[in-house]
């Protein structure tokens, strides 16, 4: 291409040419597995588990609207960082329902599976207004994903 054509696009021309930076960033991104924020966790998994992780990631999409799954931000729901091994209602400062606080459920894959298949069945009158996940495979993939991105509380 001629330099006249390049000069139509200010980013490719002139003293402030920054194209190489864009290139370096793109390469870094590709090297990290296409900018997936979980690429480090993912890269440790077998190919079959990577597929499972990706399915779980997709199933977790609706959870994000109410929960911070990997940090400690309080949204409509409590943050789920360090969830596994915790007793229900573990986030200080979150206004849980009485039902959740009194339930004494400990979050493990088994209890989560029951909760996600029927939130009101495991903890009647809790305030999580999320549709039950009827598909056992989808629940299991989602829990697999959460185990890896939300993880365990220290000491569990
Ligand atoms: C519409 C908002 C909403 C959505 C969507 C939602 N949740 Fe919740 N979730 C809540 C609220 C609110 C609570 C607290 C309920 C209470 O105190 O009774 C909660 C509580 C929880 C708890 C208990 C946490 C604790 O601190 O003990 C878990 C686990 C949980 N949600 C997982 C999920 C998962 C996984 C998804 C996605 C499938 C999801 N939630 C989707 C609002 C939501």
Residue nearest atom 8 of ligand 1, based on CA coordinates: 128
CATH architecture of 43-149: Orthogonal Bundle (1.10)
pTM: 0.82
Is the pLDDT score of 8 beyond 60? no
Helix (H/G/I), strand (E/B), else coil: 83: strand
pLDDT digits (tens, 9 = 90+) for 94-122: 999 999 999 999 999 999 999 999 999 99
Mutate to test the pocket of ligand 1, among 102, 128, 134 (most ligand atoms within 8 A of CB): 128
Q: Ligand 1: which residues within 6 Å by Cβ?
A: 62-63, 65-67, 76-78, 80, 83, 88-91, 96-97, 99-100, 107, 116, 126-130
Q: Where are the domains of the chain?
A: 1-35, 43-149
Average pLDDT of the residues in 72-87:
97
Please say if the pLDDT value at position 62 is more than 80.
yes
CA of 67 to the centre of ligand 1 (A): 7
| Tokens of residue 74, six digits | 């309080």
Give whole-number Cα distances, 123 to 12, 80, 99, in Å: 59, 17, 7
Exposure string of 60-72, with b = 16+ CB inside 10 Å and e = fewer, is beebeeebbbbee
Of 121, 81, 129, residue with least CA distance to 105: 121
At which residue do the structure tokens 């054509």 appear? 5
Burial of 20 (0-12, 13-18, 19+ CB in 10 A): exposed
Q: Which pLDDT belongs to residue 47?
A: 97
Mean pLDDT computed over every residue of the chain: 87
């Amino acid at each position: 291409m001629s330099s006249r054509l390049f000069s139509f696009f200010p980013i490719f021309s002139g003293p402030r040419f920054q194209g190489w930076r864009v290139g370096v960033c793109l390469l870094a991104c590709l090297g990290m597995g296409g900018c997936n924020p979980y690429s480090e966790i993912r890269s440790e998994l077998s190919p079959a588990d990577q597929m499972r992780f990706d399915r779980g990631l997709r199933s977790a999409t609706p959870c994000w609207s109410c929960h911070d799954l990997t940090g400690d931000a309080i949204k409509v729901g409590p943050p789920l960082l360090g969830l596994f091994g915790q007793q229900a209602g573990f986030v200080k400062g979150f206004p849980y329902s009485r039902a959740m606080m009194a339930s004494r459920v400990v979050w493990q894959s088994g209890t989560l599976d029951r909760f996600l298949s029927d939130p009101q069945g495991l903890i009647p009158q809790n305030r999580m207004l999320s549709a039950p996940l009827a598909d056992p495979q989808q629940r299991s993939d989602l829990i697999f994903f959460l185990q890896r991105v939300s993880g365990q509380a220290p000491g569990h």
